[in-house]
Amino acid sequence: MTKTITALFQTEQHATDAASHLEQAGVARSAIDIWSTPHNLPSLLEDLGVQRTEAHAYAEGVMRGGSVIIVKDEGAAVDRIITILDREGVLDLDAEQAAWRSEGRQEVAEALVGRAPDAPAHGRVRIHYRRTDRPA
């Protein structure tokens, strides 16, 4: 089962620094993506198992100047990846969404109303699970 770890950073530089530390810790560069433009980001995230409302929230964060880091892991490195990302100053997506709502961002508020009760973990670093079928 593939695990996708996502996190929103305040700037592209913060995300780049986090990616460098992940590589230094042995995470393959090919497993790390940094997105600093929202074009196609929601659909990519949905394909990776991220809920639609959450995928659009990440895109909103990018439109506001942030960057999203996406790490794909099929092994047991998830705890190490989370520790590194947390250390690098990842933003709390829930807190960011609350701030956007308080600014009167209607589309974000509407997206949050539709959040499913079985949404993945809340807060800073999030893990999404997706089964991958491998050819026999």
Domain ranges of the chain: 2-10+25-130
Q: How far is CA 64 from CA 57, 68, 78, 87, 89, in A?
A: 11, 12, 28, 22, 17
Please tell me the predicted confidence (pLDDT) of residue 25.
94
Residue-level pLDDT at 43? 95
pLDDT higher than threshold 80 for residue 133: no
Beginning with the edge strand found earlier in the chain, give each strand of the sheet holding 67-73 in spatial order: 32-35, 67-73, 2-9, 126-130
Q: What is the mean pLDDT of residues 19-37?
A: 96
**pLDDT at 109 (0 to 100):** 41
Residue 98 scores a pLDDT above 80: yes
**pLDDT value, residue 100:** 86
Residues 6+ apart with CB under 8 A from 33: 69, 70, 71
Q: What is the CA radius of gyration of the chain?
A: 14
* Predicted local confidence at residue 46, as pLDDT: 93
Show the tokens assigned to 97: 């969404």
Cα dihedral sign for 23, 33, 74, 77?
A: positive
Both tokens of residue 85?
């990302």
